[in-house]
Structure formats: C-alpha cells, structure tokens
Amino acid sequence: MNESSHLDELLASRAASSRRQIEPCTVVIFGASGDLTARKLIPALYHLAHEKALPAPYRIIGFARRDKTDDSFRAELLEALGKFSRTKPVDEAVWNAFAANVHYCQADIADPAGYQKLKAMVDATDHEKLRSNLLFYLATNPSQFGEIATHLNAVGLLEKCENGGSMKRLVVEKPFGHDLPSAQSLNAELIRHAHESQIFRIDHYLGKETVQNILTFRFSNGIFEHLWNRDSVDHVQITVAEKLGVGSRGGYYEESGAMRDMLQNHVLQVLSLIGMEPPVSLEAENVRDEKVKLLKSIRPMTPADIARNVVRGQYFAGDVDGDPRPAYRSEPKVNPKSNVETFVAVKLAIDNWRWSGVPFYLRTGKNLPVSASEVRVQFKPAPNILFAANKDISLDPNSLTLRLQPNEGITLRFNGKVPGAAMELRPVRMQFSYDTEFGAYTPEAYERLLLEAIAGNATLFIRRDEVETAWGIVDSIRNAWTDKPLTNREFYLAGTWGPTAADDLLSADGHEWRNPQPQK
C-alpha cells in the first residue's frame, strides 16, 4: 500500500472515530482454549455482564481446535472464572444468564471448512444485529492473524469497509510483529481484508485506569500543565519493573528480550501519553495523532549515541525477598550462552518545542526488587540564594510521581520546615491514593478494552503508524547490539535494580534513579 492510500485510510478512520452507541453483537474468540481466554477475556466479559455493560442481546462464540461441546466449554470457563475472577464467589444467577450466550465452534484455524461452520453458527439467529455486528478477537499466535482474516473474508464474515463504519472488527493481541518489517508485513496482510478503522491493536497497558488518568491529570489541571515543559522540568524517569523472572517463558523471551517485550509497547505508550501535546479533542484519532507526533519527535540515535545512551542487562543467580532465582542462562529453554537482555535502560531526547533539552530515562527489567510501574517528573531546582549561607541545608528538587501500579496514586514532593527553633528543611509528600479516594474497586484493563472495542472507540488502541514508529525506534537500538556479547558490567544480581551501567547512565548527567518503594 502506498503512502497516499495509507493516509486516506487514516483520514477515513478519523471521520469515523466518534463513539457509537453500543449495539447488539457477536463476539468470536479465536484461540478460545488458550490461557488468555480463561484468565482475562471470559472474566472480563462476565464482569461486564455483571455490571450490565454489555449490549442486549449479545453472543460469545469460542473458536478452537480441541473437541468440546457448548456445555463442556462452559464448564471449563466456569472453573477458570472461579480462579481468576476479581469478584468472588461467582454470582450463580449472572453466570447462568451469561453462559446461555456462550457457544463453542470446534475447528482448526487452517481449515476453510471450519469457517463455514462458524458462519452457520453466526447466521443461526433471527436477530439481524447478531448476524451483522461481529467482533473477532484473535487471541492466537500473530503468525495466524493474516490467515484468519483471509478465511473470514472468504466466507463473508469480514469485509473491508472503506468508509470506516463497519461493525465487523478485528482485535489483535501483541506482539504485533517482532520488528519493523514484520509489523509492516502484518499490517499489509490485515489491510487486505479490513480497513484501518476496523483493526484494534490491543495493548492491555492502555486499559489500566491509572494509565488512562495521565491525560486527565495533565489536561484538566492548569497548575500542572503550565509546568509540563522544558522551562520547569529537569528530566523524566519512567520505570516498569517486574519482580518475576522469565520462568517458563524462556523460549519466548529468547526471541523477544526486554526491548521487544516491554519497551516497544508498554513503556513507549506511557512515554507518549506523558509527553504528547494537547489534542484538539478527545476523539480517538486526535489523541492518537498526538501520540504518533511525540514518538516521531524522538531523536534518532547513531551507533555512537546508542553506546552512550542505552544500557542492556541480564540477571544472574540471586534472590528476591529470600526466594532464590536462577541465572537467566539457566532458565528452561534458554541458550546457556544467551546475550538476550532481561533489562534495558534508555536515555531519549525529544526534539520538539516543549521538551527540547529534557532527557527522558526509560527502564524495564526482570527479577528486580519490586513489581511497580511509575513515572517521576523531576522539576528543576529552585535557586539556593536564601539558604546558601546555611551549608547544612540542602534543597531537594520538587518532583511529581504518578504510580501506575501497585499502590496506584500521585505523589507531589516538596520541601518543608521541620518544627523547631533551627532552620531545618526536609522533603515531604502530598499524596493521593486511588484506593483511599475511590475505594478498592478498579476494573480490569480487559474489561475497558473489550467494551471500547464493542463500542468502536479506538482511543485506547494502537494505530498502524504508531506501532510502526515504535518498532523503528527499537530496531535501531537492537541492530547496534548484533553480534555484541554482554560485558561484565551488563550483568546484574537478581533482586537488585539492574547493572551498574544503568546507574552510570544517569550519573553522567548528575542524576540518579529514584526506585519505586516496596508495597506496604
């Protein structure tokens, strides 16, 4: 597809972006026997039904290869719901009403006859909307996305709607490709059978309430938006830390590493929301336009830049909270000589008017001391003129921390005087907690994302040019690592905050990492 056609599709997507009323629909889940369906998708749909958020009527059809009946499929889902539901016990009345709408289509993804069988099930209703309003959730290997779309098109269940108004939609899971060429190829394959406005690329991170709140916090509070620029901000730190190691996912991780697994999607998504310009409205395409502009403003790095501004790491044997952890190279399905990164830290420069000269430090890793995601905006220090005579006083720069998980909330750090006769200053915190203010109830990310996909609101989903821009950033870094073995300074003890090289990355600029604190 040429650039002009691509632009036409994006413009059509923009015209169709306003939120539609939720209409009756049929949700078809490919990969219905998989872990994602049991752990996330069915619990999310059940909770939406419990909250009476699903349209009336609705149907859910699971499509998978294993031999099951409707009843056996429902029994398996109920058992999984008992384990993974965020509300327990399962409400029997709600489940019975929900299960009556759940069906199973036994077929192989590669078998064209299976799609004829699916079409017969879709058409076996008198309700016209249930036949025409179709949401296909591809909870499968990405290599099967194009094949599924082709088969759906062949039987008339999926058609490309040029005006962007179709209620036949594809929801596709990450990873969306493993590099820029594969992402472009996958996009081209899907675009053959579906318009860009019909494709919902999902990143569950965007469904988190605290991530969504970034835009609200930034653009509804004038006191902070005036400070959100190079005049007031010294630097920004984004940390997505995982306490768990690779575990049983060694085979997958050998192909992805931390850069592909986390930074290309989750971390860059948070960066785009933190740094983007105000959109002209909250309609999907206006928000996504600004996110793409931000990503395209990231300064490209030469190999020399990458050597200075990017740190990779890999954990060796240690312990996390007294729990022994093996070295990455000793994990199942991992090459004993692997150079795959389990940690990455990057210093990025954004070349636009708002952020010129403000460094953004991003890091993510496995087997770190805590599981936490947070953004720390470090403001420039105040002049020390008034307190310069007292050498015992050290002014701590103000900072704002957005804690995305756990202990979700926002903390403003400023200096205050300690009570007493002496002039003693100490950093203090003003803290907002989601649990305290709104109660413990927070919907799961998949609940919000599934509801938005059914409604046709693409704001929380990733557009084609956005995913390709992110891959371009990541590929340039990964290409510089080709055939370069890890050095001793790039290994880190499991249970610590990464290799010493990551600390050097900030200390070279006179900064230091501010580590998330353990959950209390």
Can you give the three-state secondary structure of 111-178, one letter per residue?
A: CHHHHHHHHHHHHCCCCHHHHHCEEEEECCCHHHHHHHHHHHHHCCCCCCCCCCCCCEEEEECCCCCC
Three-state secondary-structure class, residue 315? strand
What local confidence, expressed as pLDDT, does residue 386 receive? 55
Going through 434-496 in order, the beta strands assigned E by DSSP cover: 491-493
Distance CA(202)–CA(58), nearest Å, equals 22
What local confidence, expressed as pLDDT, does residue 397 receive? 84
Q: Which two tokens stand for residue 96?
A: 């019975």
What local confidence, expressed as pLDDT, does residue 17 receive? 43
* Catalytic residue list: 266
DSSP label of 194: S
What local confidence, expressed as pLDDT, does residue 11 receive? 44
Q: pTM for the full model?
A: 0.89
Nearest to 339 by CA among 229, 483, 223, 232: 483
Alpha carbon distance, N-terminus to C-terminus of the chain: 52
Q: Which residues are registered as beta bridge partners of 313?
A: 343
Distance CA(402)–CA(417), nearest Å, equals 25
Q: Which residues are registered as beta bridge partners of 327?
A: none
What local confidence, expressed as pLDDT, does residue 490 receive? 95
For residues 321 and 309, is the Cβ–Cβ distance under 8 A? no
What local confidence, expressed as pLDDT, does residue 384 receive? 62
Which residues in the chain show pLDDT less than 50?
1, 3-4, 7-8, 10-19
What local confidence, expressed as pLDDT, does residue 12 receive? 46
What local confidence, expressed as pLDDT, does residue 13 receive? 47
What local confidence, expressed as pLDDT, does residue 442 receive? 65
Q: Which residues are registered as beta bridge partners of 18?
A: none
Torsion sign across C-alpha atoms 211, 215, 220, 221 = positive
What local confidence, expressed as pLDDT, does residue 395 receive? 67
